Structure 1
Amino acid sequence: MGKLKINIVIAGRTYPLSVNNTKEEEGMRKAATAINKLISMYEENYAVSDKQDVLAMCALQFASKAEITSLEKDSTDREVVDKIKELTNLVDSHLK
């Protein structure tokens, strides 16, 4: 299957894109919808005079969410590894 050509509208501008499959297309469309909703929220609630400022605020919000999620995952992963080590030590001590 070849690449699918789609058009995504963000902040009133159309961007032609190529995607590999319908799942990727769905992800792109959902992302564009989320960006457009966030743009609307910023325009309604803050005095922004430039679309670039709104887009920068959106980019910061999405990037910070991704970073926070990554940090939380790393923390959770460390906790899981520590718990496994603790349980392994407990089992080892009972087997000796």
Structure 2
Amino acid sequence: MLVLVDDLSINAKIWPNPTTESVTFESDQAIGRIDLYRLDGRVVGSYTPNQNRATLDVSGWSSGVYVARITTSTGVKSVRIIRAAN
């Protein structure tokens, strides 16, 4: 089971959501790490963009719901990403 705990002080945007090709993350602070999980808790990938905006290719993912855990210097925010069928 995956438990989500958010730091409400992080202002992060994610688009497009749902998506089929790519997803973009943007924050006021530099994004130090993005961890991606399936809903069953399995890790899909981890990325260290170290910038305010990052775009990830999700075209190879199976359709379904995923969780992105975004870490900045001020906290952590978790968001759901829907990978739609083509």
TM-score in terms of structure 1 length: 0.22
Q: Which one has a bigger Cα radius of gyration? A: 1
Bigger relative contact order, structure 1 or 2 (CA pairs below 8 A, ≥6 apart): 2
More helix by percentage: 1
More strand by percentage: 2
TM-score in terms of structure 2 length: 0.24
